[in-house]
Every structure is written in C-alpha cells, then in structure tokens.
C-alpha cells in the first residue's frame, strides 16, 4: 500500500470544535495536525473540508425539544444522529485548528450549511444525492485518486472515503492522521465498511 501523491489529499474537518476543549471533541483530535502538516505540499491537489452550520441546524440536539446529544431521529432524508451545537458559521469553534497549515489548501469545501440537512461526506450531503461539487472539481483537474485524513474516522472520513470509492476514485485513508469520535465498535464498523468498498487503509505514511 502506497500513498497516491499524484492524487488529491482531502483533509477532513480539522476544526477547533473537534479538537481539545471543543463542543464535539474527538479524543486526540489535535494529534492529527502534525501528521497532516507532514503530508501537505506532496500531492497534486489539496482540499480541506469544513463543517459550517447555521444556528439552529437540524442536526443539533438543541433543535429538538426533549432530545439529547447522540440520540437518533428520523428526518426527511433518513436517520440522523443529534449532535451538540458545533462548527456554527463564523464561530471560533468552526475555525481550522491554529496549527494546521491551511495556506496549502487549493480548495475549501464547506458542508452542512443548509439548515435542514447535515453533511458528513466531502462529496454528498446526508440525503446521499445532493453534491458538494468536489467530484466535479477533481474530475476537471484530471484527478482520479484521493487520500483522506482528518476527523473523524468513524463519521466524516468514513462517509467521504466510501463516496469517493463509489464515484470511481482510487481511495486511501491514512489511519495515523485520523481519530475517531467513538473508538472501539464505531471505528471497527467504519473500517469494515471502507474495506468492503475497496478503500485502502494505510496505517502510517512510509
């Protein structure tokens, strides 16, 4: 297994709210910054994604009376996990981690900005049909390979990797540059789905 440096590096949601002290802290989230910075500048293209939610977003537990964070509800597009308010547009929590070298980004894809629908994947919103535009960007640049890193492996990295593979991109995930919201069963499930779809999991850069 080798990293496809002739493809695109997709850096998923390395934002303050997913790091230490954030509203939706991913255990060890800030630890991915160093490994990711070490990969920047080595790929044909670099894309950052950024959760970007308006206040009162449908995925927020606070928008559902009598519901709590991490409950599941049925919305028009299917089952949705309810989250603490996080990555609200313009907030400090929505900003990229200060140690991340964001000047290396060729493109920033903001997702989840529609109030009524969440978006885990870098490619599609959670209805699985509304595109973010990333596929078109990569194809017009002649890029057929992607490598994913960031937060969190069991949600946004997972959905992005599975969608990338289904769209026909050669897809890898560097596990040492990812962390999980719920290490254990959730991470194992994510890895199993990615492997089943044909995503390559690379433990660490070589």
Tens of pLDDT, residues 115-142: 999 999 999 999 999 999 999 999 999 9
166 is catalytic: no
Local structure of residue 53 (DSSP, 8 states): B
Average pLDDT taken over every residue of the chain: 96
Average pLDDT over residues 22-40: 97
Tokens (6 digits) for 189: 């499930």
Say what the pLDDT of residue 184 is.
82
- Which residues does residue 173 pair with via DSSP β-bridges, in sequence order? 148, 201
Task: Give the pLDDT confidence of 56-105 residue by residue, as tens digits.
Answer: 999 999 999 999 999 999 999 999 999 999 999 999 999 999 999 999 99
Determine which one of 87, 147, 156, 178 is catalytic.
Answer: 156
13 is catalytic: yes
Of all residues in the chain, what percent are helix, strand and coil, respectively (each to 5)? Answer: 30, 25, 45
CB 146 within 8 A of CB 134: no
Determine which one of 13, 85, 118, 154 is catalytic.
Answer: 13
Pairwise CA distance, residues 171 & 114, whole Å: 27
156 is catalytic: yes
Determine which one of 17, 51, 111, 147 is catalytic.
Answer: 111
Q: Rg (Cα) of the chain, in Å, rounded?
A: 16
Say what the pLDDT of residue 1 is.
65
Say what the pLDDT of residue 74 is.
96
Does residue 205 have a pLDDT over 80? no
């Amino acid at each position: 297994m080798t990293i496809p440096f002739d493809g695109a590096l997709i850096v998923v949601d390395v934002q303050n709210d997913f790091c230490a002290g954030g509203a939706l802290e991913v255990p060890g989230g800030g630890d991915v910054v160093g490994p990711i910075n070490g990969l920047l500048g080595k790929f044909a293209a670099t894309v950052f994604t950024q959760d970007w939610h308006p206040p009162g977003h449908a995925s927020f537990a606070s928008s559902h009376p009598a519901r709590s964070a991490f409950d599941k509800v049925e919305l028009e597009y299917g089952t949705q996990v309810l989250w603490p308010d996080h990555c609200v547009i313009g907030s400090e929590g929505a900003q990229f981690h200060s140690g991340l070298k964001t000047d290396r980004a060729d493109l920033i894809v903001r997702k989840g900005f529609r109030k009524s629908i969440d978006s885990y994947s870098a490619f599609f919103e959670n209805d699985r049909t509304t595109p973010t535009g990333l596929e078109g960007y990569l194809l017009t640049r002649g890029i057929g390979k992607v490598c994913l890193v960031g937060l969190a492996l069991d949600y946004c990295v997972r959905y992005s990797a599975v969608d990338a593979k289904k769209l026909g991109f050669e897809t890898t995930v560097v596990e040492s540059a990812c962390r999980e919201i719920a290490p254990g069963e959730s991470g194992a499930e994510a890895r199993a789905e990615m492997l089943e779809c044909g995503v390559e999991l690379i433990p660490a850069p070589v």
